[in-house]
Structure 1
Amino acid sequence: MIHHALLERMHTHIASWEATGDRRSIFLACYALMTRNMLDGITAGRFDDNSWVHTLVHQFAEYYFIALEGYERGAGWLPDVWRQAHDLTRMEHVSPLVHLLLGVNAHINCDLTLVLDDMLRDEWGDLAPSLRDSRRNDYLMVNTIIGETIDIVQDTVLERYSPAMNIVDVAFGPLDEWCTSRLIRNWRRDVWHQAMVLVQTQDPQTRAELRHQADIQALGRMRLVIKGGAFGARAFGLSRRWLRRLGLMAD
């Protein structure tokens, strides 16, 4: 089946990276778990439009693999947030939790904004209000499934790299609480809003600038983790509205 091919593709990279100690495996192992749960949710009929979500899952993954290929080839078009996230996996002093969160940041705050624009732009103007609500409901169901995966990520991925992960970095607090209350709620709400602005923007130059802005904003969050100490780590998961209020992110 098609979705098995996607998981096999992920696990092929994970096995290769784990064999060589390449820490890019940390994020991808987490992502594979969440992808498996998403595909199980589609099979179980948890979405209003399971076919649409199936396409979303695969196009979202394709953004990751295209960026990965671009990084390995040294491509100039690669989003900076992915270039820096991959570069940092070579730094042994960076904690496994930070490797994970930087990958999640790049994939959600940059890639997810763009894939939603890709999928919704052509259909949005013709969708009845009920179908627009259905698309958003399916998007929110993804949040629920991600939340259901957090404990598995901590138990099966992070603790392999850092046995002390049951006492997560004080700067972040408990992983499940931090991810479910901040990352899922705040980031994905921001991403939906940003995608809606993109979808409804017609001018090609403005659209190109808005798509590039997704990379810039994800970079801003990355800098909070890398340079902001404990305060930056906690602010990392705040909504863009609060980051702007605190002077941590430009408009």
Structure 2
Amino acid sequence: MVAENIDDVVDGLAEIVREAVRTGDRIGYFAALYRQVTVEVRKTIHEDLFDDGPRMDRFDTHFGNRYFEAYDAWRRDRSGPRCWRETFGLLDDADTVIVQHLLLGVNAHINLDLAVAAARTGPGADIHGLRRDFLLINDILARVVLAVQDSVDALSPLLSLLDKVGGRTDEQILDFSIRQSREEAWYNAVLLAGQSEREREATLERLDIRAAVLARLIARPTGIVRPALELIRRTESGDVPTVITHLDRAMERSST
């Protein structure tokens, strides 16, 4: 699928979520999170809170198409960027817990795709004009992540074990990862925006390899995190359609 605007991105993600609910496919976990973020970005555009709403529509469309391209490549012949292959390759792994699936999607989409989308939206020196709107999305993400984290807590009652073994609260797990990754993505976006085509190819190769390594660390952590994740897995919901639906309605519940 190819999106022409942010409405198409929302519709495309909604279709992936619906199909995932129907088939019990864990690909719907991250798609549900991503759909809600995109809906909130669209709302912010309509409320004229960005410096340049039409530019942010283009930005979000580029960003969404990166995900759709990876999704289509995986569905077609298990191809696509390394980091997305690592992410999609774990969809059938029942040992991977809900929060890991979310973090795997966040890792691939932000540590690789976000910089590409930003550089395409603001090539050359134009990238610097995108900075304020880019940062504003952090506030949008924080709202959505808080709501989704509440859903994950309800579905995965022992997730708080990661407080003790990971050194941060369960509410911070997703938010921390996203904010840290977005800062690095901005640096890489500025880099890509000023590079030649050959230089961009080398940078994208480096970013993809790094994100793929991070995906393996998320999927198979070492040390005391591993037994904690095993306990989490045993107690969290294994009903994939129900989990997707619960995640996809997180923002609705938070506004009531």
Give the structure-2-normalised TM-score: 0.78
Gaps of 5+ in 2: 227-256
Shift of 1:114: 1.4
Query: Deviating runs (4+, > 6 A) in structure 1?
Result: none
Aligned to 1:209: 202
Structure-1 separation of matches of 2:156 and 2:118: 37
The answer to whether the 8 Å contact 1:168/1:174 transfers is no
Alignment RMSD: 2.4
The answer to whether the 8 Å contact 2:107/2:211 transfers is yes
The equivalences for 1:49-128 within 5 A come to 49-74=52-77, 76=79, 78-121=80-123, 124-125=124-125, 127=126
Gaps of 5+ in 1: 234-251
- One-letter amino acid of the counterpart of residue 184, structure 2: D
- One-letter amino acid of the counterpart of residue 178, structure 2: I
Q: Aligned to 2:51, what secondary structure does the other structure show?
A: coil
Aligned to 1:247: none
Aligned to 2:221: 228
Please say which of residues 210-219 and 6-15 is displaced more in the overlay: 6-15
Q: Aligned to 1:88, what secondary structure does the other structure show?
A: coil
Offset from partner CA, 1:105-145 (integer Å, 9 cap, x none) = 10000111211222222xx33x4xxx83x410110001111
Matched, 1:185 2:179: yes
Please say which of residues 147-156 and 170-179 is displaced more in the overlay: 170-179
How has the CA–CA distance of structure 1 residues 60 and 138 changed in structure 2, closer, same or farther, with 3 Å as cutoff?
same
Identity %: 24
- One-letter amino acid of the counterpart of residue 120, structure 1: G
Aligned to 2:238: none
Matched, 1:138 2:133: yes
Q: Aligned to 1:229, what secondary structure does the other structure show?
A: coil
Matched, 1:22 2:25: yes
Structure-2 separation of matches of 1:2 and 1:33: 16
- One-letter amino acid of the counterpart of residue 95, structure 1: V
Structure-1 separation of matches of 2:158 and 2:65: 30
Shift of 1:165: 6.2
How has the CA–CA distance of structure 1 residues 179 and 100 changed in structure 2, closer, same or farther, with 3 Å as cutoff?
closer
Give the structure-1-normalised TM-score: 0.79
Aligned to 1:244: none
Figure out how many residues of one structure are paired with residues of the other and give that number.
Answer: 221
Please say which of residues 36-45 and 146-155 is displaced more in the overlay: 146-155
- One-letter amino acid of the counterpart of residue 189, structure 2: A
| Structure with greater contact order relative to length (CA < 8 Å, sep ≥ 6) | 2
The answer to whether the 8 Å contact 1:105/1:221 transfers is yes
Shift of 1:206: 2.3
How has the CA–CA distance of structure 1 residues 210 and 17 changed in structure 2, closer, same or farther, with 3 Å as cutoff?
same
- One-letter amino acid of the counterpart of residue 113, structure 1: A
- One-letter amino acid of the counterpart of residue 89, structure 2: D
